């Protein structure tokens, strides 16, 4: 079974971002349908596909609740949410979408 994971790193602190809420949606007929959600663990990692749900060839959106993460720490931030859209073309492969995060910037890439 294929997997979809993420890893959030707080680059301003140099450590994993714990307890970031993440929502996974798949585009179907022009609309996004939620198919999974979770929170990052103590290592900043989160598996996003519920038991029994497989990836399909489709466009997906990960939404990270970065505003709540920074508010919990009493830190100002510019981005209340970060949404990452990506396309799965080979559903049997593992897909890893990391997020490098700071209060005033972020970046992402396809991980392994």
**For the stretch 48-71, what's the b/e string if a residue is b when 16 or more beta carbons lie within 10 angstroms of its beta carbon?**
bbeeeeebeeeebebbbbbeebbe
The model's pTM: 0.94
pLDDT score recorded for residue 44: 98
Positive or negative torsion for Cα 44, 57, 81, 97: positive
Along the 112 residues of the chain, how does pLDDT read in single tens digits? Answer: 568 999 999 999 999 999 999 999 999 999 999 999 999 999 999 999 888 888 999 999 999 999 999 999 999 999 999 999 999 999 999 999 999 999 999 999 999 8
**Cα distance between residue 26 and residue 33, in whole Å:** 5
pLDDT score recorded for residue 3: 87
Domain 4-108 sits in CATH at 2.60.40.180
């Amino acid at each position: 079974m294929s997997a979809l994971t993420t890893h959030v790193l707080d680059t301003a602190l140099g450590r994993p971002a714990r307890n970031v809420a993440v929502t996974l949606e798949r585009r179907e007929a022009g609309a996004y349908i939620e198919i999974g959600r979770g929170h990052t663990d103590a290592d900043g990692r989160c598996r996003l596909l519920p038991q029994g749900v497989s990836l399909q060839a489709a466009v997906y959106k990960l939404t990270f609740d970065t505003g709540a993460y920074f508010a919990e720490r009493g830190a100002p931030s510019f981005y209340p949410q970060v949404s990452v859209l990506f396309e799965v073309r080979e559903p049997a492969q593992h897909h890893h979408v990391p997020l490098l995060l700071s209060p005033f910037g972020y970046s992402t890439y396809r991980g392994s």
